[in-house]
Amino acid sequence: MQMQNRMVGGILSLCLGVLVFSLQDPLVKAVSSGYPVTEVMAIRSIVALPILIVLVHADVGLRAILSKRFGMLTVRAFIQFTSYTMYYLAIAALPLADAVALYFMAPLFIMVLAGPYLGERVSWQTLATVLIGLFGVLVMLRPGAGLFDWAALLSLGSAALYGFSQLMARKIGDTESSTVMAFYQNGAYLVGAAVVAGAFHLAGITHAVHPSLEFLVRPWLWPTLPDFLKMAACGFVASAGMILLSQAYRMAPANRVATFEYTGILWSPLWGFLFFAEVPRSTTVIGAALIIGAGLLALNTERRKNVPPVLAAADPA
C-alpha cells in the first residue's frame, strides 16, 4: 500500500510539475512582441539564481558547484542555452500547440543519438518510432501547402539540441546532481543572453521582419511592471517545476511515471486558446498524435531495455 501511495504521489507530482513548466510558454509568448528574448532570459535567470543556490545547498552542498567536470557541465549548459533560445524564438512565431508538439520530438532524437554518442544499440523498433514521429512532423508542417513557417525548424532544432544535452546528462549523471546541472544552465542563460544582446548592439542590428528574428535582435527596453512580473515569473515557474519533477522521480521509478510527462502537450493548446485565441488545426492534432504515439512506443522500448527515459519536459531549465 505504501509503495502504491508513493507511485500515485509521484505521478501527481510529475503531472503538476509539467503543468507548472508549461506556464513559461504563454508568459514568454506574451512578451515576445515587445521585448527581446535575451532580456527575458536574463531577468528569468537573475530571479532563478538565488532559488537555485538554495536548492543546490539543500541537495548536495555548494561545494558541488566546483565540479571536476566543469568543462562538460559548461558545454552542456550552453547547448541548453542555444536549445531554449531557439525554442522561445519559435514560440514568438508559431501557435503554442505547434511549437510544443514539434519539441516533443526530443525523446526520439535522444534514442537516435544514443547510438553514436553512448554506443547504445539502435534497434529497428527505435528507427520505426522515429519514422512515425517524423511523419507526424510532416503532417503538421505540410510542406508545399504554402503555409510552412521556417520557425518550425527552430522548434525541431531545439528538440535535437535538447536531446543531445540530455545524453550528456546521462554521461555525467553518475557524479553530478540535477540541481548542479540546473545551476550551470542558469549561468549559461545569463551569460549567453548578455553576450548575444551585446553582439547585436555592437553590430547595430535592431530590427528584423520575421517575428522570431525580431524577438532575437530587438534592443533591450525598460519593462513595464506587468511585463517585468511575467518575465520574473518564469524564474519562479522553472524552479517550482524542477522541485516537483525531482520529487516525482524520487517517489516513483522513472520508467513508471515518465509517460505522464506527455500531459505537457495537453496544456499548450489550452494556453494558446485562452490567452492568444489560437485554435489548433486538424493537421496539428493529427501530427501531434503521431509524435506522442511514437514517443510512447519509444518509452516502452526504453523500459524494456531498462534505460532511464528522459523526456522533453524533464529539464529543470
What pLDDT score was predicted for residue 3?
66
DSSP per-residue letters across 64-77: GGS-TTHHHHHHHH
What pLDDT score was predicted for residue 190?
96
What pLDDT score was predicted for residue 311?
52
Please give the grid coordinates belonging to residue 174. 553518475
Query: What is the rounded CA–CA span in Å between residue 283 and residue 88?
Result: 22
Look at residue 140 and give its three-state secondary structure. Answer: helix
The whole-model pTM stands at 0.88
Please check whether residue 284 is in contact with residue 101, taking contact to mean a CB–CB distance below 8 angstroms. Answer: yes
Please give the grid coordinates belonging to residue 134. 517524423
Residue length of the chain: 317
pLDDT tens-place values along the chain, 317 residues long: 666 777 788 888 888 988 998 999 999 999 999 999 999 999 999 999 999 999 999 999 999 999 999 999 999 999 999 999 999 999 999 999 899 888 888 878 877 887 787 777 777 777 788 888 888 888 887 665 555 688 999 999 999 998 898 888 888 888 888 889 999 999 999 999 999 999 999 999 999 999 999 999 999 999 999 999 999 999 999 888 888 877 776 777 666 666 777 788 889 899 999 999 998 888 888 888 888 888 787 767 666 665 555 554 545 45
Short-list 271, 277, 274, 281, CA closest to 25: 271
Please give the grid coordinates belonging to residue 113. 543519438
How many Å separate Cα 50 from the centre of its chain?
21
Query: What is the rounded CA–CA span in Å between residue 257 and residue 3?
Result: 13
